[in-house]
Chain A
Amino acid sequence: MGEENGDGKGDVIVLMKGIVKRFPGVVANDHIDLEIRRGEVLALLGENGAGKTTLMNILYGLYQPDEGEIYVEGKRVRFRSPRDAIAHGIGMVHQHFTLVEDMTVVENVILGLRKYGTFPDLKKAAEDITEVAKGVGFKINPWAYIWQLSAGEKQKVEILKALFRKVKVLILDEPTSVLTPQDTKELFATIRKLVARGLGVVFISHKLNEVMEIADRIVVLRRGKVVGRLMREQANPRLLAKLMVGREVFLEIHKPPREPGRVLLEVHGLKVMGDKGLLAVKGVSFRIREGEIVGVAAVAGNGQKELAEALYGLRKVEEGRIIYEGEDITKAPISERIRRGIALIPEERLVYGALPTFTVAENLILEEVDKEPFSVPVPVLTPALGMRALNREGIINYAKKVIAKYRIYPPYPEYPAGKLSGGNLQKVMVARELERGSKLIIAEEPTAGLDVAATEFVRETLVKARTEGSGVLLISSDLSEVLSLSDKVMVMYEGEIVGAFRPGELSIEEIGLMMAGAKRMPEEEVAKIWQ
């Protein structure tokens, strides 16, 4: 792609030249050139793992480049730490917020600032913060603790932190991933305001429609390299998708029709406590039948995670009942739910999912180690203590079969799981949960952080399980994923089901309003869909 295609208009604030960053086994950034201009939104588009965040972490001083040069307003700079980057007017809002939950907004904003001296006058600081917030139309209580704030408000605090330091360039890493459609609209309006003030904004995303909406100029990365530079007028979603993935992408999912079967799961008035000691799920009722996918459309933090954990038994139920195949399992331990065929594909793969230092084979049999052929009875120990001897051969043979079926790479049963790529690790998780003949599959963000190929694979696998008769509860912050995979969708807001519909029945705007709590369907109408 020639320079003339992607040439911006404003003055160049930041120029990155020939940036190379290597991590063990991968080149995350391979000779990348980039300029950031005043008064312009630059979109960095690419798949997960394309190197967008790494590049911006280098600009923000968190990583040191192995090669390459950075210029700010024409002057060569070397950043040792974010302090240097901030001093040169660069601010960054990370995808996972970097806020201290146990501190107030004021303390978070003035953290690391020398302006207020050793004994900061917090009242004065709070006034200053409110002033800056007013300038961009934010309403924020400076004395609130971070843990009391919603995701949208936390993002505003992050943006305030940068603006408070008078940045010239603001980097936003996947900023919409935790927002409702309405919050996103508000964010875009803020971005427009900032650009009008002369800031340069870098918008990191893998969502084509958002990039098309907000960007002035687009740079596409693939596997650490720049594969496209264009102005928005030159772009269209098809072209961007092709650049991003390197081949034609069919975003359609083949989903054969399937008549739902008998009721698999019935939830009655379920109430579940969240981590803060407040109700996170406030009396939800729904049904999942065999052969259907029920999707949950909700912004992160509206009780969907707690719901999934309660169904699987990770979280105590305060009130209400869970009926599975006609039997009450509200108080059943996790092991019993596993035995009955309930599976959970957890969101945080390395927290709940996999053991990095254990082998792929061991990770695959985690829940079934007590069964043949993975372990066998031995004299004395088994009758007296219920212990069984591990059967290595049985474990390895099983792993070989699964690895072949799910195309897990590299195909070694004794490979440490921690060295797998994100996509392959997720395949291990999905395989473990589905291969034990699960009938109810709870999938939390099953494609988050995966590249396109792995995403397609996981989606196909879920649809196949549903077509073969399993019930699936799909929780995803990717609304288009929910709408395209699900047979029924329920919208959750603040722990309640505020709407339920079949995909295609409602417009995105209406769904967005419900996700934001601005609108709700009458209860009878919600109840009707489960009949």
Chain B
Amino acid sequence: MAIMLKFEEREVGKAAAILIPLAALGLAFLVGAFMMLWAGVDPIAGYTAFVTGALGSPGGLTDTLLRMTPFLLMGVGIAFSNRAGVLNIGAEGQYIMGAIAATWVTLALQYVVPAPISVTTAVIMAIIVGAAWATFAGALKAFMGVNEIVTTVIMNWLALRILQWLLRGPLKSPTAQQWPMSPPLEAVYPPLIPGTRLHIGFLIAILAAIASYYLLFHTNTGFKLRVAGQNPAVATYAGYKVRTFFLLSMALSGGLAGLAGAGEVLGVFKFLYEGIAVGLGYTAIIVALVGKNHPIGVIFSAFMFGVIYNGMTYLQAATGLTYTFSKALEGMIYIFVLLAEVLILYRIRVIRVGGE
């Protein structure tokens, strides 16, 4: 007796787009509760801290928006490249390189030119370096046939090693004590709402998402990019320069990740240290997935992950767990989202065949 699964698509409408991530989230949090019990901490206290911390106060809420900013930028970037048929799992490295570039430029310029010029130059350099980091892998693929999934992911680790080296060498702060870090950055993002940590990077991210949406769905370039992503052979046949769109999507995706890196050092930490690289670029893959690779959808999923990240800091403070607990939970959310997609979008019939 053999068992086979048969998938039949079913109509669920728009509700599924919200239902799936919520169901996945609920399940992951349920498992998370058991994990907390095992670790000997009180899940109710933990989750209470989570919710009140992330959503319970104006300050908490703006921190949530602050947290969602890099997810939004990188999520939109990954959605972009996904639409163009490239799975950019190198956002983490592009983000690190962007942060390095922004720091370096700021350290060089902040006392030489007025702050707005320093910040603008830093941001532009971060975008360029992030885009270049991504396009390098893209070019290896386009011109030499090297698998881009493999190179981008190895380049993530290379970027992390570069960061570690720079923080102990060229970018080292002479006064750094326990952890290697860069000197402080003075020419930074102005706050968006005075009195909070929320900076203009948030506004930039929202604008970037809207611009991406327009580019993808309302211009001929976006149309061609989506065609090339869906089927490069068809695009070639229709006379499009597929290689150009491939490189363009890598550059855009990397540029947005670089911008996210600039935002973290210029808007949040105001110095560079190893703690900026906690896998936000990997999380952004889930953000794009939950947002259905649609820039507007990514705004909502980035908010969801902003809540999770912000809430988790409160949960960690309340329970004494470390950030890897959040990472484990994140992995579960990710896997449950994938499973829920299949379970909700398809009717799965188990068919028994054979016998005798």
Residue B227 at the A interface, CB < 8 A? Answer: yes
Residue B197 at the A interface, CB < 8 A? Answer: no
**A369/B223 in contact, CB under 8 A:** yes
**B227/A355 in contact, CB under 8 A:** yes
* A152 CA / B241 CA spacing, docked (Å): 37
CB distance from B58 to the nearest CB of A (A): 37
Q: Which of A25-83 contact B (CB under 8 A)?
A: 64, 77-81
Residue A388 at the B interface, CB < 8 A? Answer: yes
* A358 CA / B221 CA spacing, docked (Å): 16
Q: Which A residues form the contact surface with B (CB < 8 A)?
A: 24, 64, 77-81, 84, 312, 314, 333-338, 344, 346, 351-355, 357-358, 362, 366-367, 369-370, 374-375, 381, 385, 387-390
Q: 16 A–B contact pairs at CB < 8 A?
A: A64-B351, A64-B353, A78-B354, A78-B355, A79-B354, A80-B353, A333-B239, A334-B239, A335-B240, A346-B237, A354-B234, A355-B227, A355-B230, A390-B217, A390-B219, A390-B223
Q: In chain B, what residue has the closest Cβ to A77?
A: B356
**A367/B353 in contact, CB under 8 A:** no
The 8 Å CB contact of B221, one of A362, A374, A387, is A387
Give the most central of B4, B221, B236, B355: most A CB within 10 Å: B221
Residue B231 at the A interface, CB < 8 A? Answer: yes
**A353/B234 in contact, CB under 8 A:** yes
* A42 CA / B157 CA spacing, docked (Å): 63
CB distance from A172 to the nearest CB of B (A): 25
CB distance from A484 to the nearest CB of B (A): 28
Residue B328 at the A interface, CB < 8 A? Answer: no
Q: CB-CB < 8 A to B218: which residues of A?
A: 389-390
Q: In chain A, what residue has the closest Cβ to B214?
A: A389
Residue B220 at the A interface, CB < 8 A? Answer: yes
**B239/A335 in contact, CB under 8 A:** yes
Given A81-B2, A84-B354, A314-B236, A366–B220 Cβ distance below 8 Å?
no
The 8 Å CB contact of A357, one of B230, B237, B241, is B230
Q: Which B residues form the contact surface with A (CB < 8 A)?
A: 2, 4, 8, 215, 217-224, 227, 230-231, 233-234, 236-241, 351, 353-356
**B220/A352 in contact, CB under 8 A:** no
Q: CB-CB < 8 A to B221: which residues of A?
A: 385, 387
Q: CB-CB < 8 A to A375: which residues of B?
A: 219-220
Closest 8 CB pairs of A and B: A80-B354, A335-B239, A334-B239, A366-B238, A375-B220, A352-B237, A388-B220, A338-B239
**A355/B223 in contact, CB under 8 A:** no
**A78/B233 in contact, CB under 8 A:** no
Q: In chain A, what residue has the closest Cβ to B231?
A: A355
Q: CB-CB < 8 A to A80: which residues of B?
A: 2, 353-354
CB distance from A25 to the nearest CB of B (A): 11
* A336 CA / B241 CA spacing, docked (Å): 12
Q: A369-B220, A388-B219 given. 10 additional CB < 8 A pairs? A: A334-B239, A338-B239, A353-B234, A353-B237, A357-B230, A375-B220, A387-B219, A387-B221, A389-B218, A389-B219
* A388 CA / B214 CA spacing, docked (Å): 11
* A346 CA / B233 CA spacing, docked (Å): 11
**A358/B227 in contact, CB under 8 A:** yes
* A108 CA / B231 CA spacing, docked (Å): 31
Q: In chain B, what residue has the closest Cβ to A432?
A: B238
* A451 CA / B37 CA spacing, docked (Å): 64
**B353/A358 in contact, CB under 8 A:** no
Given A24-B8, A78-B355, A387–B231 Cβ distance below 8 Å?
no
* A346 CA / B231 CA spacing, docked (Å): 14
**B353/A314 in contact, CB under 8 A:** no
CB distance from A68 to the nearest CB of B (A): 14
Q: CB-CB < 8 A to A351: which residues of B?
A: 231, 233-234
Q: CB-CB < 8 A to A357: which residues of B?
A: 230
**B356/A78 in contact, CB under 8 A:** yes
